[in-house]
Homo-oligomer: A and B are copies of this chain.
């Protein structure tokens, strides 16, 4: 066994050599030999697949043996080892994650591997790999072009087709360009089975997108939430339904079957495009509020009283995360590339474009007040893209941070949920008392974590300092607090033209 590279578990620092040849046949055979439970293989152990494995291994109505599969790469191999060695590879504020993992281990229901042999034992294969959009943006977030490359997705489906049983149920959960299950995945599986001289009429292929929300309700966002599903034919849709019934609380959250896989694929990117556009909508009105002395937060609160306007968005520093920043583009790409439409989804693309430039606006907003940022000591409160979660994927704080660095500022980062910022390879502090003191020039509130909102520590610490400039991008303080702050410092808030 020759080691090409090492894969490090960021949770405990443990290093693993990545073997050149993966052979877990014996382990897998031993794992499934124990019982007659149906075997679920989850392809992809990221934010969705890893937790989906737990939910399947703790099915509400039934019992499954779950094998999580991921590639033997630097970024993923440690997850395989970690799952098998008793350390779940995802840290989240949801206590159910640990409960579910311990229970799965106790029942002997969970295994992880990099060996494609696993697919050959699967009754159900769940596809939870990523499908990315290649965004060609400049430093300031201007989206010049974008493209979708299906190569790795096709490869992943092909591995399934080369190994699966002829009567397997393949359930795609990945957010894909509408049309992918039918026009891309289906023919690949069929061709593979043909090549293998197996029947092409027995396998079932369906699509059901997840609405996973990492954070305090991680497990519930799968087990206790609405699901939409479909199949490439009625038998497939029926099989998906039977399976989903065993892992989701369908009494409280009834399932919805749609007419075809294009429809469920569209539903997913539509709902995310909708949300992205709603956020983009707030951008122009934030500017208007700033220009006209209006507090947009109170305006939004007032309008939200109407049941029909409950999801109107607040001002902010930008949109982040894996979905909202790309799904509208996936959809538009599919419209043109898979359905030969002459028209892109202009509005949805526009939404992404507007959102991508929000961090630049926040930076300019700051620069209007503090012209020279060189050597200014700036504390950023929050690096996660979302409150109460340690998720830095495509965080809007990232470009904002880069603009500040480019201008020569000295940055200190704080986030109770993030110790090390993967994307930027920088440390993040957890102790607010240590960072919010002494010679700071500027404090920027960049994430609306509840602990920032609920605790008045920050206010007290700020009031102990002298002559700070505070930029609040999330509307952290109420008017009374703002008045206190104003007695010692300058403060500006995005979307609040009434604070000067």
A residues with CB within 8 A of B: 178-179, 211, 226, 228, 256, 258-260, 262-264, 266-267, 270-271, 273-275, 277, 280-281, 283-285, 287-289, 291-295, 298-299, 301-303, 305-312, 331, 334-335, 338-339, 341, 343, 345-348, 350, 354, 498
Contacts and interface: CB of A to CB of B under 8 A. Distances in A.
A74 to B, nearest CB: 37
B288 A341 contact: yes
Q: Please state the number of chain copies in the assembly.
A: 2
Contacts of A274: 281, 303, 309, 312
A13 B179 CA distance: 59
Interface centre among A267, A284, A303, A306 (most CB of B within 10 A): A284
Contact of A226 (B179, B264, B283, B305): B305
B291 A339 contact: yes
Contact of A271 (B258, B280, B306, B345): B306
Nearest to A301: B256
A302 B268 CA distance: 10
29 contacts: A178-B288, A178-B292, A178-B294, A226-B302, A226-B306, A228-B302, A228-B303, A256-B298, A256-B302, A258-B295, A258-B298, A258-B302, A262-B292, A264-B302, A270-B303, A271-B312, A274-B309, A274-B312, A280-B347, A283-B347, A284-B348, A288-B331, A288-B335, A288-B341, A288-B345, A292-B335, A307-B310, A310-B311, A347-B354
A419 to B, nearest CB: 30
A263 B310 contact: no
A475 to B, nearest CB: 14
Contact of A259 (B256, B280, B298, B350): B298
A299 B498 contact: no
A270 to B, nearest CB: 6
Given A262-B292, A281-B274, A293-B262, A299 B267 contact: yes
Contacts of A273: 281, 285
A262 B311 contact: no
